[in-house]
Amino acid sequence: MFSGTFVLSACATLSSMPIDNSAVEGLRLAGHGDLRAQVDSLALPMIAAGQSPGLVVGVLRPDGAMATFGYGVTDKRGGYPVRGDTLFAVGSVSKGFLAEVTVILVNKGLLRWDETLETLLPSTVPLSPDARNITLLQLVTHTSGLPRQMFSLEILTSFVHYLFTGENFYSSLDNDRLMDALAGFHRPARLEPRYSNLGYALLDYILQRRGGKKVTELLAENITGPLGLEHTGYDAGSLPGYARRAIGHAGDQPKFIRRGQAVPDWHFSSYMVGAAGLYTNADDLLLYARAHLRPTGYPALDAALRDSLSVRYSRTREAAALGWIVDDLGAQKITYQVGFIGGYSSYIGLDTRHNIAVVVLQNSFNWTNNIGHRLLQRMGEAEDEKARASQTRAAPPAH
């Protein structure tokens, strides 16, 4: 997990996702197709313990079929049942979409991975020598050395206010003041994945500058439009189902608000829109996940989505792809994203070897967000068990 003064803040860090040592037990059910029982065993205890008013789990099977399982309610005070079409804010899962827009613009020749901030930003922006040499690829893979956010009195004051109110404390990342951090930037001795909202706010700015359009248009033209994701976008109020959306609630954060109390939505208007402003639902996220594993009918988009999954900084845990993270869990390799914002926690994970995916959306801010990892690991083990059984049946008898 990345460290820093503001590690206990919204807009994503990596949550607790241990290896599931019960995976072998789990595959006894999953191997017999009782997926509902598997999901219930992971989700119902969270609802019963009051960890979240509601959550939804979406599953993509190896044959491409999709299923969603909803639990609890959209609002603890008496809301609607949570379903696959329930809208959630997904925080930094937004970054995966932004990274893939970047891949598409690179493939179109509008950007290059080796371009640096010296040419990507206006000449009027003051850059330290280290900031001047940050590349586009480093921004997308969180390997630029930039911190999570600027360490300023404004952000510190806003963060303290957030702990008592739940209100957005990233306003200074959502305007031109984000550039101020670059004049005095000194990169760390070792460049490795280091989560940075600041880096992705800069990426949002760069895409709009080079793409010549707002990030809302870039998203619609390049990803959500072609994939038919009609319930995914940055303007929550304009999306179908907004009136029945999941309301965010306090969980592990904010520290000084009682768990289960509703907290304010976070709203962005500029450079944090693409970095953290997305709303979507489990149904759309499953379609999005499937597009990474099966042809969409758009060859250029297929190439970009496949490229986004390729690891650029390799290690066994929290390896860095393009907006995605990769973990080795036992015999399984899981490619995933997480998001934490306001009163929400989100997860999308892929197992590219088995062509399966899991989505988990909660309307509570909970660092422990391991349902997705555990379910993917169990499903992968079940598929491996079926393959071994099939090979055993097909093997010729010994003489």
Domain assignment present for residue 247? The answer is yes
d(CA 177, CA 273): 15
Domain assignment present for residue 4? The answer is no
Domain assignment present for residue 7? The answer is no
Domain assignment present for residue 10? The answer is no
Rounded percentage of the chain residues whose pLDDT exceeds 70: 91
How confident is the model over 230-274, as pLDDT tens digits?
Answer: 999 999 999 999 999 999 999 999 999 999 999 999 999 999 999
Q: Which token pair is 197?
A: 């909202």
d(CA 118, CA 133): 7
How confident is the model over 307-361, as pLDDT tens digits?
Answer: 999 999 999 999 999 999 999 988 899 999 999 999 999 999 999 999 999 999 9
Q: Which token pair is 283?
A: 């149904």
Domain assignment present for residue 6? The answer is no
pLDDT of residue 21: 53
pLDDT at 47 over 60: yes
Which CATH number do you get for residue 350? 3.40.710.10
d(CA 343, CA 88): 10
Q: Domain range holding 271?
A: 23-77+88-394
Domain assignment present for residue 16? The answer is no
Phi, psi of 43 (to 5 degrees): -90, -40
Rounded percentage of the chain residues whose pLDDT exceeds 90: 83
Neighbours of 294 (CB within 10 A): 11
How confident is the model over 188-212, as pLDDT tens digits?
Answer: 999 999 999 999 999 999 999 999 9
Domain assignment present for residue 15? The answer is no
**Number of domains into which the chain is organized:** 1
Domain assignment present for residue 244? The answer is yes
